[in-house]
Amino acid sequence: MNQEQGMRTITYREAVKEAIREAMQRDERVFLMGEDVAHYGGCYAVSKGLLAEFGEERIRDTPLCESGFVGAGIGAALGGMRPIVEVMTVNFSLLALDQIVNSAATLLHMSGGNFNVPLVIRMATGAGKQLAAQHAHSLEGWYTHIPGIRVLAPATVEDARGMLWTALQDPDPVLIFENNTLYNMEGALSTESGAVDIDRAKVLRTGKDITIITYSANLFKCLEAAERLAGEGIEAEVIDLRSLRPLDDAVYLQSIKKTHRALIVDEGWRSGSLAAEISARIMEQGFYDLDAPVERLCSAEVPIPYARHMEEAAIPQAEAVYAAVKKVVQHG
C-alpha cells in the first residue's frame, strides 16, 4: 500500500520508535530510560537517533541494575513525570520484581487511593532469535496474575504504534511486552494512525468452525495455519487478545457461541499459564457452548534451547496450530 491510499509500510521497530517520539513531542513529562537506550540506540535499535533529537535529559542510559532504574521510574511517576522504562528482556525484569509487584502495583492501594503510579515499562519477550534460556522466555503470563497493573501485548504495527500513547494516559502502571521476533516485521499503517483502544480484543479473521485465541507473535502463526485450514474447508476465527490483563472475555466468548470449539495458543509454559486461565474462564462462562474440550498449545516445559532446530521445536509453530485445530474439529 502507498501514501496515495492513505497507507504506508513500516516496520514494527519503527512503529514503536514513532510512538516514543510522538509521546515525547506531545508531553514534556515523558522521558525514556533503560540500559543502552541512548548512545547505543537500544538493544533492538528502537531508540536509535532519539538521543540526538531529545538530549540526555530525556533519553537516559542507566546502570545495569533493573531494580534501581525501575525504582527510579516509579519515583519519577510519583513525582509527576511520565516515564517510559525499557527493560532489555523479560528475563531481566525478574531482577525488578520487587519494584514492579511490591511497589508499582500496590502503592495506589497502600496509599488509600492517594498516589497513582503512571509508569510504562516496555520489554522484549519471546523466543525465536537464538538468545537461549536467560534471554528468551515468555513470562508475560506471570504478570497477568498481579492486580494493580495492566499488561499489553501489541502484535501488529498499528498496536505497536498506538498502544504507547494510550498507556501513558493510564494513571496506573502498564507493562508492554514486545516480541523480539516482530521488530523487523513490516506492516501497513494508516498515515492518520494514532492512539488505539487497549481494552478490547480483536477478531483478525472470521470463521465458523473453531475459535483460535492468541496474542503477540503467535498471531501470525495462527493466521498462517488458518489460511491452510481454509483450503481444506475448515474456517477458523482468529482472535488477537491484545490486552492480557484485563482480558476481554466478551470477544472470545461471543466467538465460541458461533464456532463451539476453542484453541488457545500461548508461548508461555503450559503449567499455570495464561492459556490455563482463559480455558478456565471459557469453562466457567461458556461451557454449554462447547462441542469439544478446549485445547491449549503452549511451549515445551523446558528452558528455551539455543540450537535453532531445538528452539523452533520448543515453541508453538504454524504446523502445530494446524494439527491442534484438526484434532479439535475432528473430536466434534
Euclidean distance between CA atoms 306 and 63, whole angstroms: 27
Burial 53-79 (b: 16+ CB within 10 A, else e): ebeeebbbebeeebeebbbbbbebbbe
CB of 66 closer than 8 Å to CB of 95:
yes
Per the rule left: phi > 0, alpha: psi between -120 and 50, beta: everything else, 154 is beta
- Residues sharing a CB contact under 8 Å with residue 144, sequence separation 6 or more, in sequence order: 151, 244, 245, 247, 274, 277
Which residue type sits at 33?
Answer: M
**Strand bridging mode 210-214 / 262-269:** parallel
- Pull the grid cell for residue 186: 513490516
**H/E element, 266:** strand 262-269
Please indicate whether residue 66 is annotated as part of the active site. yes
CB of 315 closer than 8 Å to CB of 299:
yes
| Main-chain dihedrals φ then ψ at residue 87, nearest 5 degrees | -105, 125
**Marked catalytic residue, from 14, 66, 140, 311:** 66
Euclidean distance between CA atoms 240 and 222, whole angstroms: 10
CB of 140 closer than 8 Å to CB of 274:
yes
- Pull the grid cell for residue 245: 490483563
Torsion angle defined by CA atoms of residues 263, 281, 273 and 102, in that order, rounded to the nearest 10 degrees: 150
**Marked catalytic residue, from 18, 135, 178, 277:** 135
Euclidean distance between CA atoms 238 and 251, whole angstroms: 11
Q: Which residues pair with 84 in a beta bridge?
A: 32, 120
Active site residues: 66, 135
